[in-house]
Each structure stands twice: as structure tokens, then as C-alpha cells.
């Protein structure tokens, strides 16, 4: 979930029902203090970022949770010395890298699917000003898109499932 789900009642509900979560956090004052308390030896450096982890809680949560911190390198650090952070609250017990990768890619499939639907299947703009006609037009585009997804998953090999379809002046191709 994105940071809109960073709420005590959601965390408590997940804990009470035995569900795991990875929710984008907010960089409020207490979160920033928790990040500052992480020793330099606690950071694991990657090519494009550094990650660390601490335990955190907020008002209203019944249990503390893991706070996975991602510190991104950015050019602005040359001027203001302030790194860019992203935090993920989680109760998962798997590795930080696994949680981070899953959370960072959470919307990638749906965003790319929507982009493919809109652009490649022509539903970016509706065909006319009539609601019923536009709804039918959109449904046909969604059905065509879902048939392509079904084809990619059932008939083509695993490597083809990540490819998208594009349309150039009526010429459709999969890349």
C-alpha cells in the first residue's frame, strides 16, 4: 500500500487478522528521528540507494513494526546535504531486500497494464459524447487487452509475459 495506508487502524487490523503488510510510510518528525538514530554501520549500500532497518511504532498501534528505510543518492546532495528517504512499514519477517523489491514494484504491473490498455488499445480517449457508447467502447478495449494478457500467459513462454504491445499508425507489435 502507499502512504495513504500508513494508519494505526490498518496496521492493527493486519496484525489482528494475521495479514502481512508493506506500507509506504510518512517522513514525520518521529520517523526522521528514528532514521537519524540508525548507526552508519546499519546501512547496506546498493548501486542506486542504501537501505537500513529499525523498529518503530506510532500512536495507536498495538505492536511495533519494522521500518525499512531507503536512502537515495541524488544530485541535490551536492548542494543541501539532505538525502532523500523513502520508508516502508512492514510486519514481514523476510529480508529487507525482498520486502523492498516487492514494495517498489507493487504498482509496476498494474501501471504498465493500464498504460498498455490506454495507448495500445485506443481507450485513452473515448469515441463520442454518449456514455453508453463510450462504456461499450471501453469494455471492448478491456476485453481485447485481457485476451492479449491471457495469450501471453498461456501460450507464450515466461519471457514474453513482461512485454507490452504498442500500436504505431495501425501497425501493432509486441516489444
Q: Could you report the per-residue pLDDT of 48-94, keeping only the tens digit for each?
A: 788 899 999 988 999 999 998 988 776 555 555 667 888 888 888 77
Average pLDDT over residues 113-137: 83
DSSP letters along the chain, please?
--GGG--HHHHHHHHHTT---EEE----HHHHHHHHTS-GGG-EE-SSEEEEEEEE--TT-SS-EEEEEEEE--TTHHHH---EEEEEEE---S-HHHHHHHHHTTTHHHHHHHHHHHHHTS-SS-SSS-HHHHHHHHHHHHHHHHHHHHHHHHTS-GGGGG--EEEETTEEEE-
Q: Band of the pLDDT at 1, cuts 50, 70, 90?
A: confident
The full set of domain ranges for the chain reads 3-104, 108-174
Q: Band of the pLDDT at 3, cuts 50, 70, 90?
A: confident
- Quote the pTM value: 0.56
Amino acid at each position: 500500500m502507499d502512504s495513504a495506508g500508513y494508519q494505526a487502524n490498518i496496521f492493527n487490523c493486519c496484525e489482528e487478522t494475521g495479514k502481512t503488510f508493506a506500507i509506504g510510510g510518512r517522513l514525520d518528525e518521529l520517523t526522521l528521528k528514528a532514521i537519524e538514530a540508525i548507526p552508519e554501520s546499519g546501512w547496506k549500500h546498493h548501486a542506486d540507494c542504501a537501505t537500513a532497518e529499525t523498529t518503530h511504532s506510532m500512536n495507536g498501534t498495538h505492536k511495533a513494526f519494522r521500518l525499512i528505510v531507503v536512502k537515495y543518492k541524488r544530485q541535490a546532495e551536492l548542494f543541501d546535504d539532505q538525502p532523500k528517504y523513502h520508508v516502508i512499514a512492514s510486519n514481514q519477517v523476510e529480508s529487507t531486500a525482498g520486502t523492498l523489491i516487492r514494495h517498489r514494484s507493487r504498482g509496476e504491473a498494474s501501471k504498465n497494464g493500464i498504460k498498455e490498455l490506454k495507448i495500445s488499445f485506443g481507450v485513452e480517449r473515448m469515441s463520442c459524447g454518449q456514455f453508453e457508447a463510450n462504456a461499450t467502447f471501453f469494455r471492448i478495449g478491456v476485453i481485447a487487452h485481457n485476451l492479449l494478457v491471457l495469450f501471453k500467459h498461456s501460450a507464450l513462454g515466461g519471457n514474453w509475459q513482461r512485454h507490452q504491445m504498442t500500436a504505431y499508425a495501425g501497425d501493432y507489435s509486441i516489444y
